[in-house]
Amino acid sequence: MSQHFENIPAIKYEGKDSSNPFAFKHYDANKMLMGKTMAEHLRMSACYWHNFCWQGSDVFGANTFDRAWYKPTNEMEAAKMKADAAFEFFTKLGIPYYSFHDVDVSPEGRSVKEYIRNFSEMVDVLEAKQEETGVKLLWGTANAFSNPRYMSGAASNPNPEIFTYAAAQVFHAMNATKKLKGENYVLWGGREGYETLLNTDLKRERAQLGRFMQMVVEHKHKIGFTGTLLIEPKPAEPTKHQYDYDTATVYGFLKEFGLENEIKVNIEANHATLAGHSFHHEIATACSLGILGSVDANQGDEQLGWDTDQFPSSVEEYALVTYEILKAGGFKTGGYMFDTKLRRQSIDLEDMFHAHIGAMDTLALSLERAVQMIEDATLATLVEQRYAQWNDTLGLDILAGKHSLQDLAEYALRNNLNPTPTSGRQERLENIVNGYIYR
Amino acid sequence: MSQHFENIPAIKYEGKDSSNPFAFKHYDANKMLMGKTMAEHLRMSACYWHNFCWQGSDVFGANTFDRAWYKPTNEMEAAKMKADAAFEFFTKLGIPYYSFHDVDVSPEGRSVKEYIRNFSEMVDVLEAKQEETGVKLLWGTANAFSNPRYMSGAASNPNPEIFTYAAAQVFHAMNATKKLKGENYVLWGGREGYETLLNTDLKRERAQLGRFMQMVVEHKHKIGFTGTLLIEPKPAEPTKHQYDYDTATVYGFLKEFGLENEIKVNIEANHATLAGHSFHHEIATACSLGILGSVDANQGDEQLGWDTDQFPSSVEEYALVTYEILKAGGFKTGGYMFDTKLRRQSIDLEDMFHAHIGAMDTLALSLERAVQMIEDATLATLVEQRYAQWNDTLGLDILAGKHSLQDLAEYALRNNLNPTPTSGRQERLENIVNGYIYR
Amino acid sequence: MSQHFENIPAIKYEGKDSSNPFAFKHYDANKMLMGKTMAEHLRMSACYWHNFCWQGSDVFGANTFDRAWYKPTNEMEAAKMKADAAFEFFTKLGIPYYSFHDVDVSPEGRSVKEYIRNFSEMVDVLEAKQEETGVKLLWGTANAFSNPRYMSGAASNPNPEIFTYAAAQVFHAMNATKKLKGENYVLWGGREGYETLLNTDLKRERAQLGRFMQMVVEHKHKIGFTGTLLIEPKPAEPTKHQYDYDTATVYGFLKEFGLENEIKVNIEANHATLAGHSFHHEIATACSLGILGSVDANQGDEQLGWDTDQFPSSVEEYALVTYEILKAGGFKTGGYMFDTKLRRQSIDLEDMFHAHIGAMDTLALSLERAVQMIEDATLATLVEQRYAQWNDTLGLDILAGKHSLQDLAEYALRNNLNPTPTSGRQERLENIVNGYIYR
Amino acid sequence: MSQHFENIPAIKYEGKDSSNPFAFKHYDANKMLMGKTMAEHLRMSACYWHNFCWQGSDVFGANTFDRAWYKPTNEMEAAKMKADAAFEFFTKLGIPYYSFHDVDVSPEGRSVKEYIRNFSEMVDVLEAKQEETGVKLLWGTANAFSNPRYMSGAASNPNPEIFTYAAAQVFHAMNATKKLKGENYVLWGGREGYETLLNTDLKRERAQLGRFMQMVVEHKHKIGFTGTLLIEPKPAEPTKHQYDYDTATVYGFLKEFGLENEIKVNIEANHATLAGHSFHHEIATACSLGILGSVDANQGDEQLGWDTDQFPSSVEEYALVTYEILKAGGFKTGGYMFDTKLRRQSIDLEDMFHAHIGAMDTLALSLERAVQMIEDATLATLVEQRYAQWNDTLGLDILAGKHSLQDLAEYALRNNLNPTPTSGRQERLENIVNGYIYR
């Protein structure tokens, strides 16, 4: 058996006083919290692309990662070595899920036929690997943005044959996801957006996209895929403007095409901040709209205007996000997927482990803090009390639609209303949150 | 008759070679373009608040404007002097419309009753002024954000009595707008948003807001107001996050509450850029969704993170925006409203004229450029050609819903699809646009 | 004795398990760390302006704070009541320092003469208060930006009489600071910047500013003020562009006018982030240039483009900042000054305490984490090792200026150099930091 | 002779009414303005890298440009074909200058020796091409950021051998630039910055950079290179923070290492905006500090947080920038260099021409507008008048250092100063500018 990470031990939980860099300090997979194990709450997944496809290049520089699995010149041989390395990594790390794009795991070939043949062969390889290791598929997806044919979009392309090519990829990627018992299927609108309004018909492109998503929903039902369909919002990059800008925009799109009960969102932390929102905001918005599906758990750089896909390290941020998710009932088919890449200077194989260990510990600790927020209920109670007056007659009648504008105008005059404001207590609430995080 | 601007002549069109700073270089109100006068196309409006209420303060400094109409200590006397000054200004400037909030024109008083009495008296004053001068009301609105009672929102307030107070204001402001033959009624969600998620129930606040807007729609129909209802998107400021973040968000909100055929958007240039969009983007998005109502014509500062409300001076920006509006059929009840304020250092009365003259000329010149873009049709033709393949069988069938994902996957394989990309021609299109602007 | 905060107890340290909101969980003033008490390390200061002058207004809304000390109509009476409230607050909170602008503590009057008389009287009041309570002055400053005369700047004003007026204020404020044993004197360039380049002569304005600062330095030596002179960088707001943009810009300015050994910087967290830097960056930059003086300890909102002056709550941020300051030897005359204001909705007097308690606990906990980083030395050792090769001959000779470009070109060729890169270990370092913060 | 652009005619000036897309509408090379030709004023240069090295990839997608010169498998053969194509392009376009990095024009090889041999051979090729076509070299530079060895910086690298390798490249690139009669030599600090403060010693890295730049200056004098040395500021990308952040930062750096009379700045429009400044600001700042050298003429996207390097199309922006440069005496050795790339979807060879023609016309028209601003002198006169009081005794004495703070405080009291502010006239000035641009 090939040993890509032979110097790295399997990662175990050793507790927060451990000084072993190759051990978890907080992630204790089987620890029970609110009736579920940590692993069941967090449902963490590693990604294929950043770990096993990206080679360390950036816009200004060449590859810096020197990995064995990039060396074979035969594409299928390389794909299989990559799968070996990937599952060795997932297993040593002890992460329960992985996620992939079709062309991450399989060479895209020089024709539709070759694409299908390669992919089919690699899906069998992955199926065997899953069987052997117990690692499961959180979600699958199709990459319809890297090949030059997609330079002007996939579903939103001005050429219907390119739309059709993308449809073929999604067809096969959905089928593969079902075969591999994937729990979700994701659509990220890589180039579904515009570069310049001067050459773009927004209404037409949205109609194309709407029809594409309807076909995806129809196909899901046809094949009996029981996972969740997810759209992943992002405001820009690679395009100037992506149509799935943020959660609120995706919600409007789903409503326009009657899809709001069929598709949920996969929120990425760094996409949220690029859209001008806090990560917390996007999660809370999706929860309030009932469309939270899954999370791409990463972290951006507040000073940089592009997707840096860093590993999550902020418990201050993730504790509140996890609290929000727990309040909404926790993950169903979704989970925390690490759409994260090493810094380009972190060139050693061991860096892959440092990065994921830190991320998994960050989420585990955040979960513990969030669980206590839920169990104490102090925060929830304060919020409820703030709106308590809406449970009185006036408030209930307003929301029940029993009053017109005129009724209320008369009510205000009749009662000579002069309502006084109440403190919002923001600083006190922040202290309470820090009380949980730094207990 | 009081003469607040006695040293300023009535502003006339003198053509672009004029060196008179108190003359229009491009705005020739009665010039015909595409069957309408410039005035009819642009439907320009001055605002009451920045010109006649704001006194030049900012967060770090006291008032700098020393105006006669701020001096009377009797509030109603001051309000009437303000109205005199306002209509003298509108008339000298030759702008056809104005716009106001209830408390711009009328002291809000110390009770609901006083509010109603003051406002009623001032609406009569305004009606007489309109009659006398021919200046018309583009839109009215209610200010439900400045008074401390609204510190935690109006419709989204945790206290239903404050919701009720806001309802009373909107009731009276809508009635006043109808009486004054206003062509639109605007709702700007000043503090309809949150400061911290820690004390906020997003779902509940959105429900409150939804019901509020339904009541507004019902009231419109009840009183037979024939103008357009408008929501004005803004991402933040004064709140951390406003629920009417941008056009796409407002669209989703309208769909959620069944209001998409009743309410349109009033897009402000500087709000668009604060939301991370180009102004052009917001206009094009609203047009593509069929919800463009009116425009707050101003300009932000690309380096500053707050609403600077500067006067529009960029023909490069407004020519494309106007082109988009003309493509969508031009303004119906809406228009270009100057939600603009003098720089705090522009303390002289004459600065009010310089600023508006420049803005009106910018829009007039932009209109001329946009009309030529429409009449030549080069841009539109190139866009149409880009999507031409969608008019062939494959494209038509896809959009007609005749194909499943599987059909297309089989089509791709059967035809061994290998579509090649076509140049997007962005730079060529930019040259064409500059050819119009700098002809 | 007047009792402005009669329902609030004096704040004591009760430890992290305390559930008393009016107690410190982490700030234990006399706890010894690295040979100094917490109080001596942190040197925390409350500010006068946000707590006792600002009344809760924002750009879109009126005052929300209803405080006794804003009520007296006699200005000097109000100033004295404010001083009573301020020192009662400082004392109950147990904060060792305070800071003020001249016109925070004293009515500016209607003439230079009145300004001097009022200020002189209030300085005596403050002196007595300091004596009585033991509260000390961290720094004083002059407000040369709020009065309309300063609308176009103070030292950079186009009118030399306004420059002169500002000089008079700074003269008196420096003298007052000396009298009150202030440990620093701060200059914040409120409106020393431009609104538009169209009316601005950058070179001339910088020369004016340079001369002004030289006079300040000369005056310091003349009166024997032994505190530190500080410039506080900020990129914009209220101006479009402030000349003291950030630490690097201030350094260049100091070098241009020969002031680099006379003036240090007072870095504000929220100004750092508005300038597009991390707070950590600005602190590290100032330390590396040897010009760190003091810190305005607050926190911005990552989604908002203006100075929100929130209370610090992030230990993740402040632990690293404090580590940087400790590495550079800790504060000398400077300290952590809370340039922080309540959220406008936090209208109760008790909110002032919640906010400051949370902030002081955040800094205390950050200090504890930073001290452990220093004492363990793991981080510092790893950084040192990274540059270890520079201690070999080649590196030493290069930095000693012994090599020319040609020497090195020949060296590279002769040795057929092919240096290989080494992992930057960013993720591992982030794990180490989290190991300290969440131990 | 190879004909890479055989279907494109040589580009000529045809005037603004021409509808020929392959003609200049405004750039009339020999037109005289203020005693110089347009070509002499603008000194425009095309770049090698974006046009002849970049193949249309982005972070999310593969190459889209299919050019003949990327096909030869022999590296030197490809380099020569590239040179053929480049000079054919420069000549057809009629642009007087070009600019390059060492490894744009020459394969970097597998050793220092190979690097030198390849580069030397290609410099001879370029010399012959220059001779043959009359195209001149605006500036040369070395790429010390793309090779993986530079992943942690060049001069600021923790490994002195990598510093040395970079020194070797700069040595050869400077010599080549001299040989090719280049008029400037540029240093862009690609990776001279940090990714994380956790592994970085700022002071040490700045010292390394300082010594490197001193060696460059020494070498310039040693070889008698008479061109200008330039540093190109950029705030970030590829690093998180680059040490040459902006003009003000570079100025401080130059002062720290005594280089302020030896090195000037090369300002890039899109770098300016990424740094949070307007392009106009950076130019005006450099002029006011006397360090403006040259300009990378491009345009960013206001909504995107990375360097998009678009072709300049805004006359509104470039007219003011060019006005600033003309006020400062115009370019000496510098010029307008197009650091611009095609949009990734503009895949045709003709797009290279559309893009450059548009850019050159934008600059030509901007020059015409700026010349008129200079010749009319209205703007300059208004600025001068604004500061006129500084020419009176008080102002002159202050700037001459004749007054102390105390003198001015006494002056203010004695004269009972009460200076009143004067309108800044921003809107009027904006109208005047538009009067020139849209005359």
C-alpha span between B73 and B71 (Å, rounded): 6
Facing D413 at nearest CB: one of C116, C251, C285 = C116
d(CA C425, CA C386): 10
**Closest chain D residue by Cα to residue B354:** D428
Q: Give tens-digit pLDDT for A18-33.
A: 999 999 999 999 999 9
Contact A144, A154 (CB under 8 A): yes
Give per-residue burial for D191-223: e unless 16+ CB within 10 Å, then b. bbbbbbbbbbbbebbbbbbbbbbbbbbebbeeb
Contacts with D32 (C-beta within 8 Å, 6 or more apart), sequence order: none
Residue D88: closest CA among D12, D7, D4, D23 = D4
Is there a contact between A343 and A299 (Cβ–Cβ < 8 Å)?
Answer: no
Report the pLDDT value the prediction gives residue A160, as an integer from 0 to 100: 98
pLDDT in tens, C85-101: 999 999 999 999 999 99
Nearest Cα to Cα of residue D166 among D209, D202, D206, D195: D209
Average pLDDT of the segment spanning B106-128: 98
State the pTM of this model: 0.98
Q: List the end-to-end C-alpha distance of chain C, in Å, as a whole number.
A: 46
The tokens describing A88, both together, are: 């060795």
The predicted structure's pLDDT at residue A1: 54
Q: Does residue D58 carry a pLDDT above 60? A: yes
- Whether residue D435 lies within 8 A of chain C, CB to CB, comes out as no
> Annotated active-site positions of B, please?
101, 104
Report how far residue D153's alpha carbon sits from residue B253's, in angstroms, rounded to the nearest whole number. 49
pLDDT for C189: 87
Least confident of C3-7, C230-234, D326-330, D413-417: C3-7
CB contacts of A62 in chain D (<8 Å) are 146-148
CA dist list (Å): B258 to A257, B185, B213, B217, B291: 14, 19, 10, 11, 14
Contact by Cβ (8 Å): A336, A268: no
d(CA A152, CA A194): 8
How far is residue D407's CA from residue D401's CA, in Å, rounded to a whole number? 11
User: Can you say whether residue D61 is alpha, beta or left, with left for phi > 0 and alpha for psi between -120 and 50 degrees?
Assistant: beta
Separation CA D398–CA C159 (nearest Å): 12
In A126-216 the beta strands, taken as DSSP E runs, fall at: 136-141, 184-188, 193-194
Report all structural domains of chain C as residue ranges with CATH numbers, in order of start.
Answer: 12-376 (3.20.20.150), 380-437 (no CATH)
- pLDDT value for C40: 98
Residues 6+ apart with CB under 8 A from D163: C395, C398, C408, D154, D155, D157, D208, D212
- From residue B385, alpha-carbon distances to A172, A199, B284, D169, D287 in Å are 32, 10, 19, 49, 47
CA C68 to chain centre: 29
Residue type, A109: G
State both tokens at B165. 């107070």
Residue C314: predicted pLDDT: 98
In the three-class reduction of DSSP (H, G, I as helix; E, B as strand; rest coil), residue D230 is classed as strand
CB atoms within 10 A of CB C4: 18
D309 is in an annotated binding site: yes
C-beta atoms of D439 and B16 within 8 A:
yes
Q: Residue A237: its chain D contacts at CB < 8 A?
A: 59-60, 304, 306
C-alpha–C-alpha distance, residues C18 and A346, integer Å: 42
B428 touches chain A (CB under 8 A): no
Q: Is the pLDDT of residue D68 over 90?
A: yes
Query: CA D399 to CA D395: how far, in whole Å?
Result: 6
Helices (H), A32-110: 38-42, 49-52, 75-93, 102-105
Is residue B361 within 8 A of residue B93, CB to CB? The reply is: no
**pLDDT tens figures, C320-358:** 999 999 999 999 999 999 999 999 999 999 999 999 999
How close does chain C come to D306, measured CA to CA in Å? Answer: 14
The residue whose two tokens read 């209404």 is A203
Question: In this structure, are residues C354 and C418 in contact, taking their beta carbons and an 8 Å threshold?
Answer: no
Q: Which of B303, B351, B355 sits opposite D276 (nearest CB)?
A: B303
Q: Which residues of A are catalytic?
A: 101, 104
CA–CA distance from B411 to each of A171, A217, B404, B407, B418 (Å)? 12, 19, 11, 6, 12
Closest CA relative to residue D47, chosen from D275, D203, D268: D268
CB contact under 8 A, D348 and B423: yes
Phi, psi (degrees; rounded to nearest 5) at C391: -90, -5
Write down the residue that tokens 């592994």 correspond to. D199
Q: Which residues of D touch B347 (CB under 8 A)?
A: 421-423
CB B134 within 8 A of CB B77: no
Residue D86 has pLDDT above 70, yes or no: yes
Neighbours of D128 (CB within 10 A): 12
Which two three-digit tokens encode residue D251? 């100025």
Average pLDDT, rounded, for chain A? 97
C184's CB contacts (< 8 A; 6+ apart) are C138, C139, C227, C228, C229, C230, C266, C293, C294, C333, C334
- D237 CA: distance to closest CA in chain A (Å): 8
Q: What is the radius of gyration, based on Cα positions, of chain D? A: 24
* Res B1 pLDDT > 60: no
Whether the CB of A231 is below 8 Å from some CB of chain B: the reply is no
Q: Using 50, 70 and 90 to split pLDDT, how confident is the model at D215?
A: very high
Query: What confidence tens digit (pLDDT) does each residue in B11-67 have?
Result: 999 999 999 999 999 999 999 999 999 999 999 999 999 999 999 999 999 999 999
Q: CA A314, A317, A323 angle in degrees (round to 5)?
A: 125
| Percent share of chain C, pLDDT over 90 | 99
Q: What is the mean pLDDT of residues B95-120?
A: 98
* D171: its two tokens: 């040595």
Residue B101 has pLDDT above 80, yes or no: yes
Cβ-Cβ contacts under 8 Å for B332 (sequence gap 6 or more) = B228
pLDDT higher than threshold 60 for residue C1: no
- Residue D2 confidence (pLDDT): 62
Residue C157's pLDDT is 98
- Cβ of B160 within 8 Å of Cβ of A204? The answer is no
* Residues above pLDDT 70, as percent of chain D: 100
Q: What is the mean pLDDT of chain C?
A: 97
H or E stretch covering B188: strand B184-188
State whether ipTM is beyond 0.95: yes
Give, in order, the Cα–Cα distances in Å from D223 to each of D100, D130, D262: 20, 22, 15
Contact status, residue D333 vs residue B333, Cβ threshold 8 Å: no
pLDDT in tens, C6-46: 999 999 999 999 999 999 999 999 999 999 999 999 999 99
User: Using CB atoms, which residue from A316, A345, A428 is nearest to C316?
Assistant: A316
The pLDDT assigned to A2 comes to 62
Of D382, D411, D413, the CB nearest to C113: D413
Pairing of strands B292-296, B241-242: unpaired
Supply the pLDDT for residue B189: 87
Question: Has residue B169 got a pLDDT over 90?
Answer: yes
CA A183, chain centre distance (Å): 13
- Cα separation, C376 vs A388, whole angstroms: 51
Q: Are C392 and D163 in contact (CB under 8 A)?
A: no
Query: Looking at residue B152, what is its pLDDT?
Result: 98
**Cβ contacts of residue C362 below 8 Å, gap of 6+?**
A434, C26, C311, C312, C313, C314, C315, C318
Q: Which of B114, B164, B174, B285 should be substituted to probe chain A, the one whose Cβ sees the most A Cβ atoms within 10 Å?
A: B164
Share of chain C above pLDDT 70, in %: 100
Residue B390, CA distances (Å) to A14, A159, B386 in order: 60, 7, 9
Alpha carbons A285 and B254: distance in angstroms, whole number: 16
Question: Which chain C residues touch B148 with a CB distance below 8 Å?
Answer: 56, 61-64
CB B279 within 8 A of CB B269: yes
For chain B, give the mean pLDDT.
97
Is the CB of B158 inside 8 Å of chain C's CB atoms? no
Q: Write out the two tokens for C294.
A: 């003091």
Query: Which two three-digit tokens encode residue B67?
Result: 């105006």
| Three-state SS at D185 | strand
Summarize pLDDT for C67-89 with one digit per residue, the tens. 999 999 999 999 999 999 999 99
pLDDT of D36 over the 80 cut? yes
Q: Which residues of chain D from 182 to 211 reach within 8 Å of chain A, CB to CB?
A: 190-191, 195-196
In this predicted structure, what is the pLDDT of residue D1?
Answer: 54
Tokens 């646009």 sit on residue:
B433
D322: Cα separation from own chain's centroid? 13
Which of helix, strand or coil describes residue C293? strand
- List Cβ neighbours of A296 (8 Å cut-off, separation of 6 or more): A232, A266, A267, A268, A269, A270, A271, A337, A338, A339
Whether B66 contacts chain D with CB within 8 A:
no
Residue-wise pLDDT for D107-130, tens only, equals 999 999 999 999 999 999 999 999
| B126 in Cβ contact with B97 (< 8 Å) | no
**Which of B373, D298, B160 lies closest to A402, judged by CA?**
B160
Task: State yes or no: is D101 an active-site residue.
Answer: yes
Angle between helices C349-376 and C378-386 (to 10 degrees): 60
- Determine the 3-state secondary structure of C302 from DSSP: coil
